[in-house]
Chains A and B, each alone.
Chain A
Amino acid sequence: MTSYLIRRAVYGFFILVLVNLLTFALFFFVNSPDDMARAQLGAKRVTADAITKWKQERGYDKPLILNTNSSGAGVVTNTIFFDKSVKLFVFDFGRSDQGRDIGYDIGTRMWASLAIALPVFVVGLLVTVTFALLMTLFRATYVDFWGVVICVAMMSISSLFYIIGGQFVIGKLWSLVPISGYDEGFSAFKFLILPMVIGVLGGIGASTRWYRTIFLEEISKDYVRTARSKGLPELRVLFRHVLQNAMIPILTGVVVVIPTLFLGSLIMESFFSIPGLGSYTIDAIQSQDFAIVRAMVFLGSVLYITGLILTDISYTLADPRVRFE
């Protein structure tokens, strides 16, 4: 297992190198450091001197990949690529183009993202698996039929509609929770209810249908027939045997998401004014703060690769027959 994990980590490292090269090329060949300087210095009265000074201070006046004016290791290290991209591998995110410490900002904001993403993930998973099992339990009845119809309808609706509709109905019409906002600590709870409800509702349609398909496939297998013939109640058959044996496809879609929960949701955080990493990324894109965008793309890649490795590990826990080779 250890050698397998090491091998996966090495593969992951090379994927990160590629992602890093690609984002570097995108950011620095499509947008020059001059563009970044202008974006930060504003639209009014920007002089060439100010641009030069801005680039000098942030190290954007160096050559992109090779510094032929340097000697020794400086040829490689005294470059924008080394400063801005290679250091990401040791999680040195540096400072944003506005001068703030990116690592500090990420550390502060990820908790807000997690505060919403984690409950949505856990509650959403529980609700959708339960609904799917119920639909399987009541298969070929009106519950199953209307369940599928409702699921298809729900998955056809844009997530933006859920957000705006939810804010209007639950926040404004019924006045049950604040429409948007955030607070520290325990006071954050009342702000999280609405995004949580909307997040769960928005995911019910697609996930329930997916899990229902998995369970229906599983329920026609021999071991289920055996369990029933032993006289086990249907609920026990479903929740004990079917659910356990359907874990592999469920884990494939679920575990990979867990590490990326830290990154938050771009739209949700923006509409609910939740100061997480999703809105951090959106803000950075809007203000053309490429230092932050680079850091977030890199972090996203790291977390996604971590998620894939965790998925593999989870297979062995869910099904002892799975072995690493």
Chain B
Amino acid sequence: MPTRSYCLIALLAAWLLAGCGDGVWNNPYRGGDAGANILYSAFAERPKHFDPVQAYSENEYAFIGNIYQPPLQYHYLKRPYELIPYAASDMPKPLYLDAQGNALPEDAPADRVAFSEYVIRIRPGIRYQPHPAFAVDAAGKPVYADLTRERLRGVHTISDFRQQGTRELVAADYVHQIKRLAHPRLHSPILGLMADYIVGLKELAATLQKAAKALPSGAFVDLAPHALEGARVVDRYTYAVRVKGKYPQFLYWLAMPFFSPVPPEVERFYGQPGMAEKNITLDWFPVGTGPYMLTVNNPNRQMVLERNPHYQGAVYPAEGAPDDAEAGRLKDAGNALPFIDKVVFSLEKEQIPYWNKFLQGYFDTSGISSDTFDQAVQFSGQGDVTLSEEMQARGIRLQTSTATSVFYMGFNLLDPAVGGYTEQARKLRQAITIAIDQEEYISIFRNGRGLPAHGPIPPGIFGYREGADGINPHVYDWVEGKPRRKSIEAAKQLLTEAGFPNGRDAKSGQPLLINLDTSQTGPAAKAMLDWYVKQFDKIGVQLVVRATDYNRFQDKLRNGSVQMYFLGWNADYPDPENFMFLLHGPQSKVKIAGENASNYANPEYDKLFDQMKHMPNSPERQVIVDRMVDILRADVPWVWSWFPKDYTLRHGWLYNSKPNKMAHNTLQYLRIDAARRAELRHAWNRPNVWPVILILLIVALSFIPAIQAFRRRERATATQAHATHVAAEAKP
């Protein structure tokens, strides 16, 4: 064998030894990470925004929720969800003021309250993660304050700035961020909403818009000279936010990244000429005071959160929900957070490789897709969900939780056929609601992962009622301790009373045709849509599915040309107001492009909504919510569909995991037994080389007779070869 070949083999062997130092060949991470205190997770889609003023999606919050520190947070373990201080030193209480600025009592009626002022005190001593924007020279001047394109020549990412610094979090940073909601070049999704509440925000947005227009394109918009009437710094650690009227839900917003601190110097640092051209922006490299900091942002491959060295003072909670102690989730009570040093998020776009890598131990948690459901989960004879034997053998644990979300099939109340508020119209909608068997839908298309909805409020949110009190009496009867869907005969009777006996117009004899607009297409959607057609067919109504692309679907919703449609809603915060507003008359999609896509408008409901939204959770509020739900059930603007249930799998080496649909800073509570993980990975991933050797051997052996025949042919005389050739050619 030539020397070059030996060298190549030696190189290959060296690579194998170097790359597979931990004894496994299929480890997608670097060998040195084995046994380290690292959590391995994945992301399927590149997050669009990391700027807390813009980010609003779950996949964005999964990162920035652990980086930024808003004044409030949700308790990790307690249910129902409870707000507690985060950067704040205590829970702020609103001070109610009348139009003249006089203080009002806590129980002042909403119509007397002109303003609510929230005074927020933050804990002294909180420090930002290391960042070049805080780097100062010996004279205390920022090192990277006056960068030119020339100085940025060798800079491609944030880590190319050698010097870093930190500073203490101050109240002014929070006020600066509230002003950023009105920034003309950022598009905060909540500007429209907050401009209606925070005093002066609308005016500030208009002023900044003018100021930005006067500047050259792309120039830095300095917010410092522009004051915001509704947000002011009281002292170094205290700031006050003034909102119009009574708005108790404002506290929930204070737990969202929109109200996180952003230091002005950081914004100025990123706003320097040439930075945006190199994609070095706050939207790409966030800067916070939370437990983790983003050290690698390569959404093409991997994103890494590492422990913020300046984060301190947070401890694991000592109390939680009743089952937490039994589940061992209180064992770490009082220990300093975070437990994990580093969280590696790898790009994993497809479910199947994700699942296989989870089974190999290379991801610590996984959801369950419909493809893998039967492999992961089984139902007992009593209908209880348990893990399959294969999962149990691997020490995998299953956690289920009901999401704070609702999925529904809406009617357009402006439509002459299915809309309106007459008794006939209501009965038509009720008949349809009975006919669509949500229990069957959940069983077939969700693998049982859902709860049939009886109203708009999901479990876990104030206002939701369980048991006999919570059923929708227009659709269900309470029989033998559980709800039973009314019969198809009852639906047909309602349809007859609505003027459509057997699904035909009693006057014209024409069949009743209802159009369903949807942006869901593809083979999986086809099965689901066919199922819906069959449900309507049970009462003799013809459902016409009008599949369309997402943009056209949105257009149709906006101009009110749909009859029925599918939509869903994920809660911003755990309050009934965040669900009931989806049917609030002034939120009509057709009128103001609001979130009420059914264009439902009931004066009594609207009045009760205005009353309910200002109230704290109390028995009085529950009474109003109950009445509102009753109105909705009678009017039927939606086919009450289902609340999703999430099934999450985690390996046995991951501790303290508990689904929390509201909190986004949950990584700090998780703990890992990295040694156990390394041991099991090793056991589960021993390379099997023999099948490859066997295949190569079979292929090689199969060629031997052919090679022999070929050699015979090569050695043959011309006459012999010709005879063989003629024989071969003669074969069919």
Interface residues of A (CB under 8 A from B): 31-32, 35, 38-42, 44-50, 53-54, 57, 98-101, 104, 108-109, 112, 137-143, 164, 167-168, 171-183, 186-187, 189-191, 233-234, 270-273, 275, 279-280, 283, 286-288
Contact = CB atoms under 8 A, between A and B. Distances in A.
B394 to A, nearest CB: 13
A311 to B, nearest CB: 32
Nearest to A43: B554
Interface in B708-723: 709-710, 713-714
B689 interface: yes
B346 interface: yes
A179 B357 contact: yes
Interface in B254-283: 276-279, 281, 283
Contacts of A174: 687-689, 691-692
A42 B189 contact: yes
A55 B18 CA distance: 52
Contacts of B550: 39
A167 B300 contact: no
By CB atoms of chain B within 10 A, which of A39, A177, A288 has the most? A177
B26 A176 contact: yes
A140 B593 contact: no
Contacts of A172: 26, 356, 359-360
B374 interface: no
B415 interface: no
A98 to B, nearest CB: 6
Contacts of A41: 187, 189
Contacts of A287: 45, 48
B46 interface: yes
Contact of A50 (B189, B685, B686, B710): B189
Interface in B22-51: 24-28, 30, 45-46, 48
Interface in B77-114: none
Contacts of A39: 550-551
Contacts of B706: 138, 141-143
Interface string B189-212: 111110000000000000001000
A104 B593 contact: no
Contacts of A275: 298, 300-301, 347
A42 B56 contact: yes
Rank and list the top 9 A-B pairs by shortest CB-CB distance, nearest first: A275-B300, A140-B728, A181-B28, A35-B551, A178-B28, A47-B192, A180-B353, A174-B688, A143-B706
Nearest to A182: B301
A273 B689 contact: no
B622 to A, nearest CB: 27
Contacts of A272: 353
B692 A176 contact: yes
Contacts of B24: 175
A173 B686 CA distance: 10
A50 B192 contact: yes
Interface string B298-319: 1011000000000000000000
Given A112-B300, A141-B709, A168-B356, A49 B277 contact: no
Nearest to A48: B593
Interface string B1-35: 00000000000000100010000111110100000
A174 B684 CA distance: 11
Contacts of A143: 702-703, 706
B149 interface: no
A172 B24 CA distance: 12
B57 interface: yes
30 contacts: A31-B551, A38-B554, A39-B550, A41-B189, A44-B56, A46-B189, A46-B593, A47-B191, A53-B184, A104-B278, A138-B706, A140-B728, A141-B709, A168-B356, A172-B356, A174-B692, A175-B685, A176-B26, A177-B25, A179-B28, A179-B353, A179-B356, A179-B360, A180-B357, A183-B301, A272-B353, A273-B347, A273-B348, A273-B350, A275-B300
B189 A138 contact: no
Contacts of B15: 186, 189
Nearest to A97: B48
Nearest to A275: B300
Contacts of B187: 41, 50, 53-54
A162 to B, nearest CB: 13
Given A38-B554, A190-B19, A181 B688 contact: no
B357 A140 contact: no
Given A44-B189, A104-B279, A273-B348, A175 B593 contact: no
A187 B20 CA distance: 11
B595 interface: yes
B297 to A, nearest CB: 12
Given A47-B192, A112-B300, A179-B360, A234 B350 contact: no
Contacts of B278: 101, 104
Contacts of A138: 706, 709-710
Contacts of B702: 143
B185 interface: yes
A167 B353 contact: yes
A271 B349 contact: yes
B150 interface: no
B688 A173 contact: yes
B390 to A, nearest CB: 13
A35 B549 CA distance: 11
B688 A167 contact: no
B326 interface: no
Contact of B191 (A31, A50, A189, A270): A50
A179 B301 CA distance: 14
B151 interface: no
A108 B550 CA distance: 31
Contacts of A112: 300
A2 to B, nearest CB: 38
B404 to A, nearest CB: 14
A54 B357 CA distance: 40
Interface in B202-261: 209
B336 interface: no
A287 B349 CA distance: 14
Given A45-B189, A176-B689, A186-B15, 6 more contacts: A39-B551, A41-B189, A47-B192, A176-B25, A180-B350, A271-B352
Contacts of B277: 101
A15 to B, nearest CB: 28
A12 B187 CA distance: 41
Given A39-B551, A41-B189, A176 B346 contact: no
Contact of A45 (B190, B349, B350): B190
Given A42-B57, A98-B48, A271-B349, A175 B26 contact: yes
B350 A271 contact: yes
Contact of A273 (B346, B593, B688): B346
Contacts of A178: 26-28
Contact of A234 (B25, B45, B685, B710): B710
Interface in B504-542: none
A279 B300 CA distance: 9
B95 to A, nearest CB: 28
B697 to A, nearest CB: 16
B532 to A, nearest CB: 22
Contacts of B729: 140
A49 B209 CA distance: 12
B654 to A, nearest CB: 20
B141 interface: no
Contacts of A57: 185
A127 B375 CA distance: 38
B593 to A, nearest CB: 6
Nearest to B277: A101
B189 A191 contact: no
Nearest to B284: A100
Given A41-B189, A171-B356, A190-B19, A180 B710 contact: no
A156 B146 CA distance: 62
Contact of A187 (B30, B685, B687): B30
Interface in B338-352: 346-350, 352
